[in-house]
Chains A and B, each alone.
Chain A
Amino acid sequence: MTLRFPFPVRSPLRPDLASSLHRRLSIPSRSSSSPTPLLSSDHRPPLFLRPPAFAASRTDLHDFRRWAESLALAAGPRLSASDGGPDAALLRRELAWLVEDATVAAASESGVGEELRLRVELEELYRLWRARIEERRPFQYIVGCEHWRDLVLVVKEGVLIPRPETEMVVDLVAEVEGFEKGLWADLGTGSGAIAVGIGRMLQEGGRVFATDLSPVALEVARLNVERYELKDKIELRRGSWFEPLRDVEGKLMGLLSNPPYIPSSHIPGLQAEVGQHEPKLALDGGEDGMDHLLHLCEGSASALKSGGFFAFETNGDEQSEFIVDLMSMKLGNFFHNIKMISDFAGIQRFVTGFRR
């Protein structure tokens, strides 16, 4: 089905296969003018965490920037017009961040002469940027991280890149009285973004169970939990939705989830960065996009303790309205104070409420 996309350069391998393949192959360091797909650099830490083992002159880096910028300027209008991809201005900003992550300290433009220390070979920078433009590989996979709230989260192929909208879930939790000491669950945690965001605010007794079906996601979430030293606050569990949480059924103070909610029919038309690179498992919500949301709603009644709170992200307006109706009508005996919350773009993005 990937062949339907207009970009033939995508790796035909599933990300997990690609990564295991990659583990066995060392990357041949040749110029990638050939259309060989860029193998995901799964086993390596994100750019900004790698040791600065390489060097380049300022002129070399400058040349790279000029080349990369011209590529961005040429491709930007096309990408944004075709499927709402990045425009030239955004690509230039990404380029600046790529250089920021790949170099040591601020590569101030004013200094001259001296060598810069790099975290990747200059040659690889070229390859990475080409993959960004030509393969539409998401910027966050290129640099291996996503800045989310005040966190820098590790991400890689196989894990959904946390969206800016989802940042608000953490704010919603912070408004719940006594949240600091409760048991929370982040269902389908992916990179662990919500769990880490909440985990950092918890006090003695507070705990987050972060679940995911995908082993790759759990591996990445573990990295993020460790990086923020939250091993004693966040427990990662593998399994589908409520399955791994049987032992805490009825004891949870809160349920949080950003489940897959895109209707299956929308998947082929997605922006290339999403449709061709991010895991379907984290996006596809079934025919009307609500398969998982409905499952979560129904399971919430028994998972939450009395007075417990839930916040679910949805595809927006229609889905949110549907969930609000469901929770307050059909499940009205279990829940109250059901609300829709808008994201900053004015879309009713979240549904929240409390267990009676």
Chain B
Amino acid sequence: MAGFFFLFVKRSFSNPSRFLLFPKIPISCSSTSSLVSSSQTLARSPIGSGFNNVVGGGIGGFPRVSVPRRFSSHLAAVRDLKTADGLTVDAIAAKDWPILGESESDWRSHAAAIAQSIQLIKKRMQWRKLIVRLDQMSAVLNKPDLWDDPVSAGRISREHGELLSKMKEVNGYEQELLEHIDLIKLAREENDEELEWESMKALVNMRRTAKEKELEALLSGDNDSCSCFIEVQAGAGGTESMDWAAMVMNMYKSWAQHRGFVVTIVEEMPGEIAGIKRATIKVDGDYAFGYAKAEVGVHRLVRISPFDSGKRRHTSFAAVAVIPILGDGSTRYQIKESDLRIERFRASGAGGQHVNTTESAVRIVHIPTGICATCQNERSQHSNKASAMAVLQSRLDQLEMARQAQLNAEHTQSLTDISWGNQIRTYVLHPYRMVKDLRTNYEVSDPDSVLGGDLDGFILNFLSYLLDKDEASV
């Protein structure tokens, strides 16, 4: 290829197997101002600092002249990243190179595996929609009257920045793959075994991280990174269903604890004999909502009832709702103090000094919408009120989100919206033992482990099913 040059500096460091690379491999790219910068390569390159107008290392640390920064869809240009000999990620995937084990030293196998992952990641992120959205946002940001509404301008520019960095990360990853392919080819031409080995090792590492990135890409929804509330409500059928609702709630508590989330019980209405009529827990931690949203719907149990002296088979239902807890910055619904009615829950008698009780439950009713929230599990009324307010805020946010757009509707249904026909999973304890997700057909033959909180298989399967079925997105 014309104009192809290569700079290779070998130095002896404390670790002799490490050496510095300043490869400059021009990769055909239809735009002069790529948004992609391989920060790794840039960081290693002392050359970059010698140029004044450098905006990024470009491919392989190739310095680029800066252009005035404008919000436009540079990304569109970047999509067809290529290797020196014109291979794109899609082309690599299309070659159907056999994918062998990680231990095999075959760069084609590694490249094929990584390319597949990249395709999957893009599909899960709904890459095409992202590009359209990025273009739309860029158009808005380029409007001269943008800052007339500083709040919305701030929001859009923040969103734009977040989206851009998300996409740049994937592009950077794509580019890393192509770079290493180039390097391997080059090393072979030059008979440089050490270089070839280094790049091969890098490909193997990429292959390993690709699996994590695939999972991360499952959680790229708007509120996925939020903490959340999980609510469980017993279906018809009295004690039988209330017991089942308690089992479901315990399943989520253990699941969340195993995942390292912090679980707090917000509200719990116990059944008269056993179980719960309804309960709400707060699940605190990164991506709690992203995972838990997969559980929204009705869970069905088939078993020999421990409450039936006739030992008959019973079917019970429990409904699950999951509500994201939006961060302070993005709270959507403004609650007016005057719209609230705050009541002592289950108070009776004279109160005050007459009564000693540790019960200080509070119910807050939002009068205009009739939505209310209760908290009784905190140890002071003040804290119960604060918790109930947080639940109310999230419920109102959820309502507002559903009103504003249908985009999240399927995940933000409240308990009252969930129809009892919307069964998502069946747990059979008798006459055989199995848990089966009715949406994905994923099944497990050990209900005890599932009820003990081992839900990740179900959740990840559903999330990938949800995103991967959308064939049109890449």
Contacts and interface: CB of A to CB of B under 8 A. Distances in A.
Contacts of A349: 351-352
B351 A266 contact: no
B358 A261 contact: no
A150 interface: yes
A286 B133 CA distance: 73
Interface stretch (A24-32, A63-71, A82-90, A330-338): A82-90
A147 B356 contact: no
Interface stretch (A116-124, A217-225, A229-237, A270-278): A270-278
Contacts of B369: none
Contacts of A249: none
A84 B355 contact: yes
A313 interface: yes
B473 interface: no
A344 B354 contact: no
Nearest to A272: B356
A316 B358 contact: no
B358 A163 contact: no
A110 B351 contact: no
B73 interface: no
Interface residues of A, number: 47
Nearest to A344: B344
A163 B353 contact: yes
B349 A84 contact: yes
Interface in A78-117: 84, 86, 89-90, 93-94, 97, 108, 110
A343 interface: yes
Contact of A150 (B352, B377, B382, B453): B382
Contacts of A270: 354
B379 A147 contact: yes
A46 to B, nearest CB: 13
Given A110-B254, A164-B381, A343 B354 contact: no
Interface in A254-277: 258, 260-262, 266, 270-271, 273-274, 277
A314 B342 CA distance: 20
Contact of A274 (B347, B348, B353, B362): B353
A160 to B, nearest CB: 7
B269 to A, nearest CB: 9
Contact of B358 (A93, A160, A283): A93
Interface string A126-169: 00000000000011100000111111000000001101110100
A261 B380 contact: no
Nearest to B386: A150
B2 to A, nearest CB: 64
Binding site of A, secondary structure by majority: helix, strand, loop or mixed?
A: loop
B380 A148 contact: yes
A258 B270 CA distance: 34
B357 A90 contact: yes
Contacts of B355: 84, 163, 271, 274
Contact of B382 (A90, A138, A167, A316): A167
Given A90-B358, A110-B257, A345 B347 contact: yes
Task: Indicate the member of A140, A163, A277, A347 with the most B CB atoms within 10 Å.
Answer: A163
A346 B348 CA distance: 10
Contacts of B348: 84
B378 interface: yes
Contacts of A277: 356
Q: Please classify how large the interface on chain B is, using the bins under 10, 10 to 19, 20 to 34, 35 or more.
A: 20 to 34
A97 B376 CA distance: 13
A94 B358 contact: yes
A271 to B, nearest CB: 6
Interface string A265-306: 010001101100110001100000000000000000000000
A157 to B, nearest CB: 13
B352 A313 contact: yes
A105 to B, nearest CB: 12
A343 B344 contact: yes
Interface in B346-374: 347-360, 362
A189 interface: no
B344 to A, nearest CB: 4
A150 B380 CA distance: 7
Task: Indicate the member of B343, B360, B378, B382 with the most A CB atoms within 10 Å.
Answer: B382
Interface in A338-355: 343-347, 349
B377 to A, nearest CB: 7
A147 B352 contact: no
A344 B342 contact: yes
A278 B270 CA distance: 30
A140 B360 CA distance: 13
Contacts of A282: 353
A256 B377 CA distance: 29
Contacts of A344: 342-344, 347, 362, 381
A40 interface: no
Given A93-B358, A344-B342, A260 B353 contact: yes
B347 A147 contact: no
Nearest to B453: A110
Nearest to B384: A164
Nearest to B342: A344
A262 B354 contact: yes
A315 interface: yes
Contacts of A262: 353-354
A126 to B, nearest CB: 20
Pairs A-B, 5 closest by C-beta atoms: A147-B379, A164-B381, A345-B347, A344-B344, A345-B344
Interface of B: 254, 257-258, 270, 342-344, 347-360, 362, 377-383, 453
9 contacts: A84-B348, A108-B257, A161-B356, A164-B380, A167-B382, A260-B353, A316-B350, A347-B350, A349-B352
Given A97-B358, A139-B358, A316-B352, 16 more contacts: A84-B355, A97-B379, A147-B378, A149-B380, A150-B383, A163-B351, A163-B356, A167-B381, A271-B354, A271-B356, A274-B356, A313-B352, A316-B351, A344-B347, A344-B362, A345-B347
